[in-house]
Amino acid sequence: SAVISQKPSRDICQRGTSLTIQCQVDSQVTMMFWYRQQPGQSLTLIATANQGSEATYESGFVIDKFPISRPNLTFSTLTVSNMSPEDSSIYLCSVRTTTNLLAKNIQYFGAGTRLSVL
């Protein structure tokens, strides 16, 4: 199984600032994803982090607001830019290894970053 470390685990930020969330995996993974979970809601996919290239964003999410980096197969960052109170959510990193026949259907989630924007 993959062990995912997310930092920070929580933060309280001021409106208009930016926060970068880090996701570190203990093994190389094929796919890395970023999800958002608004209070009391389900999970919504923000984007797929692509190694060495621009992330693929889902409808309603844009690069200027949520820039994502993925420099290698074990690490990714998500930045929440120019924050407003509506960005208060849990942000979760998720990974999957699709090249391993036994593991390709298992998707792991990090513990999440609980963000509050004042």
Partner 1 sequence: ELKVEQNPLFLSMQEGKNYTIYCNYSTTSDRLYWYRQDPGKSLESLFVLLSNGAVKQEGRLMASLDTKARLSTLHITAAVHDLSATYFCAVDMDSSYKLIFGSGTRLLVRP
Interface with partner 1, residue 2, by CB under 8 A: no
Stretch that binds partner 1, among 12-20, 39-47, 60-68, 69-77 (CB under 8 A): 39-47
Tokens 């290894």 correspond to: 97
Q: Determine contact, residues 37/89, Cβ cutoff 8 Å.
A: yes
Closer of 17 and 38 to partner 1 (Cβ): 38
How far is the C-alpha of 68 from the C-alpha of 50, rounded, in Å? 9
Interface with partner 1, residue 57, by CB under 8 A: no
Interface with partner 1, residue 29, by CB under 8 A: no
How far is CA 100 from its chain centroid? 22
Interface with partner 1, residue 103, by CB under 8 A: no
Closest to 33 measured CA to CA, from 88, 86, 87, 112: 112
Q: Report the interface residues with partner 1, using CB under 8 A.
A: 31, 33, 41-45, 48, 58, 92, 94, 96, 98, 104-112, 114
